[in-house]
């Protein structure tokens, strides 16, 4: 008994049976309904998305014995013969095997003759980009001004190779890759009709492997049914596609959350017995992280049939959103770099180590730099001296000028001033000596005298007047007395943060693992604190 492949048996025979490609279906249906039918159509898109299928349905609509219609009857002689591929007025040409100009001229010699049986003579040229330059030239005049009884339907996976002279004479429709969810849904419908048992997760894996092609998906589904002995199960799909069980993917994600490089490497080495496709394994890990990220960002995210909701929930609590983003980015970058690795396994392991090593480590409690941010309005001014008060430079503090109110009153004042550019630079390189009435005495380092100009002094005086609520006059001394400036305080705090970051990076377990296993060397100048 002969068997018809699913891709052929379930090939759409009318526009209403098409899966996806609504933008193409709508345009063609409207053209047929209104009678505004162009003489040349170009269908582009990757393999298996429906280019020739749509062209055949369109030819059927043009030649159905009930009339030109968007819904061919499917039972008349023309419809049945087009479905069977033996309609005399539908000339299908494989341009890949007929590239010579003589072949094209022979084909076009019969264009002038009326159709033998149908209403239109339809030329369906598949992989039209394979024609030679001379063949395109021979086709061009006919394509521009064909007889009224001729329609050209061209299909290609590579429209960039077509001459602009051809493209400009056709209505072009770009068919899209089908979403994996839509492919899986159609496969479920087919298996329900065929009475074949299946696992939804297994169909999801096949749909993802099809990469947007419905034909590829149905071919893989045929293979899966044969592999599974008449059943499309998840375990069979993973074995056929070379994918490891999803429990192992979840285990890798849990070890990443634990930030234990030794256990992570043991988990990765345990996968070797399954002979996995490491690129696909990184894909699945990235897919899991996408679901975890969605669960963290969208409280009512329900997940899908691939990973259980409780697994997603558990990982969403174990991983920070920052870690999810870092691990995801590293996974997809690692897949791209796999061909450059000495072997796929070492590339996969290095990708996992990179996830742990590049994770920003928290600053240890003993190295934390204390900062006190001023509040809005009055709390920031509370550190400023009162109008009749004499204030001497404070001891060096830590933190940037905007955050140093606890250790430097002048730094706290500067952080609240409405200054920018050179005027703020001038204020940051000064130290407050004293304020007596309307006079504010500042010490300016001799190395920064170029910052002191009449215009910048005026801007600083106006800003201080607004701050104190009374006019002030500035007096400068070119000495180092008066304590550290806000700029020096910020420099000291930055150096402390850098030292703490380098110390934390050196102590990170991932970095230590890279050193022990691969002899890695840390370049101190490349370590920067995370802001």
Look up the CATH number of the domain holding residue 435. Answer: 3.30.300.150
C-alpha 494: how far from its chain's center? 34
Confidence of residue 484 (pLDDT cuts 50, 70, 90): confident
Question: Hey, what are 484's tokens?
Answer: 């550290």
Whether 208 is in a domain gets the answer yes
Q: Give the list of residues 6+ apart from residue 310 with CB closer than 8 angstroms, or none.
A: none
Residue 509 lies in a domain: no
Indicate whether 140 and 254 sit together in one domain. Answer: no
- Kindly report, residue by residue over 85-105, the tens digit of the pLDDT: 899 999 988 887 776 777 778
495-509 burial, b at 16+ Cβ within 10 Å, e below that, comes to: ebbeebbbbbbeebe
363 inside domain: no
Q: Are residues 269 and 340 in the same domain?
A: yes
Structure tokens at 401: 């000028």
Number of structural domains in the chain: 4
Strand order in the sheet with 90-94: 90-94, 121-126, 150-156, 40-44, 171-174
Residue 420 has what pLDDT? Answer: 86
Domain boundary among 212, 241, 270: 241
Q: Tell whether 44 is covered by a domain.
A: yes
Average pLDDT of span 24-52? 92
For the ranges 6-10, 126-130, 213-217, 501-505, the lowest mean pLDDT is seen at 501-505
**Domain contains 86:** yes
Q: In sequence order, what DSSP letters do the residues of 447-472 get, joined into one string?
A: GGGGG--HHHHHHHHHHHHHHHTS--
Q: What is the pLDDT of residue 378?
A: 38
Asked whether residue 304 carries a pLDDT value surpassing 80, the answer given is no
pLDDT digits (tens, 9 = 90+) for 444-472: 877 788 888 888 899 999 999 888 888 88
Q: Where is pLDDT greater, at 248 or 390?
A: 248
Tell me the pLDDT tens digit for each residue of 198-250.
Answer: 988 889 889 888 888 999 999 999 999 998 889 998 888 888 876 667 788 88
Residues 34, 167 within the same domain: yes
Q: Provide the mean pLDDT of the chain.
A: 83
DSSP labels, 52-120: HHHHHHHHHHHH-TT-S-SS--S-SHHHHHHHHT--TTEEEEETTT--SHHHHHHHHTTTTSPPSSSSS
Per the confidence metrics, is the pTM higher than 0.85?
no
Spatial separation of the C-alpha atoms in residues 179 and 202, rounded to whole Å: 16
Q: How far apart are CA 217 and CA 220, in angstroms?
A: 5
Give the CATH number for residue 232: 1.10.8.60
State the pLDDT confidence band at 374, using cuts at 50, 70 and 90.
very low
Expressed in percent and rounded to 5, the helix, strand and coil fractions of the chain are 55, 10, 35
Residue 522 lies in a domain: no
Sign of the four-CA dihedral 471, 474, 475, 480: positive
Q: 497 in a domain, yes or no? A: no
Please indicate whether residue 30 or residue 495 has the higher confidence score (pLDDT).
30
Q: Provide the terminal-to-terminal Cα distance of the chain, rounded to the nearest Å.
A: 70
Q: Where are the alpha helices (DSSP H) in 406-448?
A: 409-416, 421-428
Name the nearest CA neighbour of 392 among 406, 370, 410, 372: 410
User: Where is the domain boundary, 139, 157, 174?
Assistant: 174
- pLDDT for 372: 32
Q: Which has the minimum average pLDDT: 65-79, 186-200, 202-216, 303-317?
A: 303-317
**Predicted local distance difference test score (pLDDT) of residue 145:** 86
Is 27 in the same domain as 160?
yes
Question: What are the φ and ψ backbone dihedral angles of 442, each rounded to 5 degrees?
Answer: -125, 145
pLDDT of residue 185: 92
CATH number of the domain bearing residue 334: 1.20.272.10
Give residue 309's pLDDT band: very low, low, confident or very high (50, 70, 90). Answer: confident
Q: Is the pLDDT score of 403 beyond 50?
A: no
Q: What is the mean pLDDT of residues 489-498?
A: 84
Q: What is the extent of the structural domain holding 390?
A: 383-486
Backbone φ and ψ of 115, nearest 5°: -60, 145
What pLDDT, on the 0 to 100 scale, is given for residue 508?
A: 83
Predicted confidence band at 415 (pLDDT cuts at 50, 70, 90)? confident
Instruction: Tell me, yes or no, whether 366 lies in a domain.
Output: no
């Amino acid at each position: 008994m002969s068997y018809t492949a699913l891709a052929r048996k379930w090939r759409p025979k009318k526009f209403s049976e098409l899966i996806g490609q609504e933008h193409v279906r709508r345009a063609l249906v409207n053209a047929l309904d209104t009678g505004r039918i162009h003489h040349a159509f170009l269908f582009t898109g990757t393999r298996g998305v429906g280019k020739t299928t749509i062209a055949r349905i369109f030819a059927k609509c043009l030649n159905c014995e009930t009339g030109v219609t968007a819904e061919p009857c499917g039972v008349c002689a023309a419809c049945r013969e087009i479905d069977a591929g033996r309609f005399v007025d539908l000339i299908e040409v494989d341009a890949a095997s007929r590239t010579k100009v003589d072949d094209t001229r022979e084909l076009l010699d019969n264009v002038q003759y009326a159709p033998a049986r149908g209403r239109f003579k339809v030329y369906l040229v598949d992989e039209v980009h394979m024609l030679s330059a001379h063949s395109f030239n021979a086709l061009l005049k006919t394509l521009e001004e064909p007889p009224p009884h001729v329609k050209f339907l061209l299909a290609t996976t590579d429209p960039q190779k077509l001459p602009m002279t051809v493209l400009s004479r056709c209505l072009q429709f770009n068919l899209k890759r089908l979403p994996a969810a839509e492919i899986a849904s159609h496969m479920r419908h087919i298996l329900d009709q065929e009475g074949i048992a299946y696992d939804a997760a297994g169909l999801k894996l096949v749909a993802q492997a099809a990469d947007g092609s419905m034909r590829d998906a149905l071919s893989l589904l045929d293979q899966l049914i044969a592999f599974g002995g008449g059943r499309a199960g998840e375990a069979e799909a993973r074995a056929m596609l070379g994918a490891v069980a999803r429990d192992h993917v979840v285990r890798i994600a849990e070890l990443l959350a634990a930030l234990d490089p030794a256990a992570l490497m043991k988990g990765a080495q345990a996968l070797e017995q399954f002979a996995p496709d490491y690129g696909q394994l990184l894909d699945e890990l990235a897919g899991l992280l996408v679901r975890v990220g969605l669960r963290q960002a969208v409280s009512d995210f329900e997940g899908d049939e691939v990973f259980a909701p409780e697994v997603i929930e558990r990982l969403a609590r174990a991983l920070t959103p920052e870690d999810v983003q870092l691990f995801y980015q590293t996974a997809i970058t690692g897949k791209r770099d796999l061909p450059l690795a000495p072997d796929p396994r070492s590339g996969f392991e290095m990708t996992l180590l990179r996830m742990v090593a590049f994770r920003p480590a928290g600053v240890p409690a003993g190295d934390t730099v204390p900062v006190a941010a001023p509040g809005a309005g009055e709390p920031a001014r509370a550190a400023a001296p009162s109008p009749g008060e004499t204030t001497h430079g404070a001891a060096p503090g830590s933190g940037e000028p905007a955050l140093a109110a606890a250790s430097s009153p002048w730094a706290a004042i500067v952080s609240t001033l409405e200054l920018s550019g050179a005027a703020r630079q001038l204020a940051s390189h000064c130290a407050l000596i004293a304020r007596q009435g309307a006079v504010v005495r500042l010490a300016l380092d001799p190395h920064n005298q170029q910052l002191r100009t009449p215009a910048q002094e005026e801007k600083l005086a106006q800003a201080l007047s607004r701050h104190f609520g009374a006019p002030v006059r500035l007096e400068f001394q070119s000495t180092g007395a008066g304590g550290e400036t806000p700029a020096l305080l910020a420099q000291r705090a930055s150096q402390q943060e850098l030292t703490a970051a380098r110390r934390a990076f050196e102590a990170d377990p991932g970095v230590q693992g890279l050193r022990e296993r691969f002899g890695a060397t840390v370049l101190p100048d490349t370590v920067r604190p995370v802001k």
